[in-house]
């Protein structure tokens, strides 16, 4: 692989999950993947891969149960119901629409298409993972999104259940498996190490949660999902700076990347790829092209021939002042609060 592309601009190619991507900019799981033409526009704008919107196991189960309830209600109404009520085995509610979307994307795009699965039970995860792999996905991203509501289930038990789920999927498919994590582990590096032991090829930090709010007028819980902002990026950078020193897995940054310099920060901390969704949904393919151009321009200004040369330069092991990533930095930040923002003279 040459260090420079033909016009002497920095080479953005990267390795992720064993896949060679033309760019570290990845379209994150979002409705963008539902439109093959839109996905193709993002590919032309510089996307190195696209992650499909998530297939939720609960949604499929609910659809299946709704069909069975409909059929059962007709059966109970009339002894001859079987003449007009379709037989349940003849109906397909096992993610067929999702698989068709995957096939359409593969036919339309030259970049890797990564499927996304958000499951809850070992059987469900394995079943849909196998079908997705058979349909030709380049890789599979598993979303570990547990909402712990039981006081009798410890954090260790939740983690053990998640590891079992992931291990069952990894053992059932031949394509690379990536796990999208939450930040809510007592030790993210230790959990990632356990994932690595069961055969996971990469992790994404971090999943963004659906966080309901309260409607004070109606006295009800209201669904709410806000777009990401750049304020979310530091949490990801810290995780990347640590994980890139403790793990050999492919690392992806998701959440808070809105520009080329944000992408550069993630790469400096150890990201092999950065995933974008909110800013792309708001601003379209032109924005991805701008991020692509700005990232390449930053690399050129710093004299890097490839994005790989900049990767992990500021992680926990290589940063000039390691305390910047530890509790000591927090102490120094508190001690300097009177100084105000950088550049402002203290009173």
pLDDT, tens digit (0-9, with 9 covering 90-100), for 91-104? 344 678 999 999 99
232-278 pLDDT, tens digit per residue, is 999 999 999 999 999 999 999 999 999 999 999 999 999 999 999 99
Report the run of H or E that residue 15 belongs to, with start and end.
Answer: strand 14-16
Closest CA to 291 of 278, 276, 305: 276
Extract the tokens encoding 310.
């900049």
Place of tokens 């990801």: 236
Strand partners, 163: none
Residue 70 included in any domain: yes
Q: What is the pTM of this model?
A: 0.85
Residue 341 has a pLDDT of: 59
Residue 334 included in any domain: no
Query: Rounded mean pLDDT of 175-192?
Result: 96
Residues 203, 205, 206: CA angle, nearest 5 degrees = 130
Residue 317 included in any domain: no
- What CA dihedral angle connects 294, 249, 126 and 153, to 10 degrees? -100
Closest CA to 121 of 174, 169, 52, 69: 169
Within 10 A of 259 (CB to CB), how many other CB atoms are there? 17
Residue 145 has a pLDDT of: 77
Ramachandran angles phi, psi of 163, nearest 5°: -60, -40
113-156 pLDDT, tens digit per residue, is 999 998 767 777 898 999 999 999 999 999 987 777 889 989 99
Residue 326 included in any domain: no
Extract the tokens encoding 293.
């151009």
Q: How far is CA 98 from CA 55, 115, 131, 276, 324, in A?
A: 7, 9, 10, 21, 44
Residue 95 has a pLDDT of: 77
Residue 335 included in any domain: no
Place of tokens 């196998």: 130
Place of tokens 């092999």: 272
Ramachandran angles phi, psi of 166, nearest 5°: -65, -45
**What is the average pLDDT score of the chain?**
86
51-65 pLDDT, tens digit per residue, is 999 998 766 655 444
CA dist., res. 240 & res. 270, Å (int): 5
CA dist., res. 111 & res. 44, Å (int): 10
Query: Which DSSP letter does residue 200 get?
Result: -
Q: How confident is the model at residue 37 (pLDDT cuts 50, 70, 90)?
A: very high
In terms of C-beta density within 10 A (0-12 exposed, 13-18 middle, 19 or more buried), how is residue 257 classed? buried
288-336 pLDDT, tens digit per residue, is 999 999 999 999 999 999 999 999 999 999 999 898 888 766 666 666 6
Q: Give the total number of structural domains in the chain.
A: 1
pLDDT above 70: residue 21? yes
CATH number of the domain at 132, please: 3.20.20.70
Residue 323 included in any domain: no
The domain of 50 spans 14-309
Residue 347 included in any domain: no
Residue 282 included in any domain: yes
Strand partners, 153: none
């Amino acid at each position: 692989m040459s260090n420079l592309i033909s016009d002497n601009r920095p080479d953005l190619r990267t390795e992720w999950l064993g896949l060679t991507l033309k760019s570290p900019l990845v379209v994150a799981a979002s409705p963008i993947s539902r439109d093959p033409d839109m996905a193709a526009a993002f590919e032309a704008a510089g996307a190195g891969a696209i992650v499909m919107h998530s297939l939720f196991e609960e949604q499929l189960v609910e659809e299946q149960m709704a069909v069975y309830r409909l059929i059962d209600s007709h059966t109970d109404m009339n002894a001859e119901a079987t003449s007009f009520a379709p037989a349940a085995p003849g109906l397909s509610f096992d993610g067929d629409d999702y698989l068709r979307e995957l096939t359409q994307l593969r036919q339309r795009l030259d970049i890797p298409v990564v499927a996304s699965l958000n499951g809850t039970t070992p059987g469900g995860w394995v079943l849909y993972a196998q079908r997705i792999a058979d349909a030709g996905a380049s890789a599979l991203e598993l979303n570990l999104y547990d909402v712990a509501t039981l006081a009798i289930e410890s954090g260790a038990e939740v983690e053990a259940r998640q590891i079992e789920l992931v291990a069952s999927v990894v053992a059932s498919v031949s394509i690379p498996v990536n796990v999208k994590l939450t930040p809510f582990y007592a030790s993210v590096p230790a959990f990632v190490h356990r994932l690595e032991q069961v055969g996971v090829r990469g992790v994404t930090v971090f999943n963004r949660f659906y966080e309901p709010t309260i409607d004070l007028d109606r006295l009800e819980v209201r669904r709410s999902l806000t777009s990401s902002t750049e304020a979310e990026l530091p949490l990801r950078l810290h995780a990347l700076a640590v994980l890139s020193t403790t793990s050999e897995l492919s690392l992806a940054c998701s959440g808070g990347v809105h520009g080329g310099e944000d992408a550069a920060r993630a790469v400096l901390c150890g990201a092999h790829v950065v995933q974008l969704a909110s800013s792309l949904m708001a601003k379209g393919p032109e924005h991805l092209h701008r991020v692509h151009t700005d990232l390449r321009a930053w690399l050129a200004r710093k004299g890097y021939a490839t994005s790989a040369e900049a990767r992990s330069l500021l992680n926990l092991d290589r940063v000039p002042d390691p305390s910047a990533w530890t509790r000591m930095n927090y102490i120094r930040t508190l001690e300097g609060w009177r100084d105000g923002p950088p550049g402002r003279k203290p009173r």
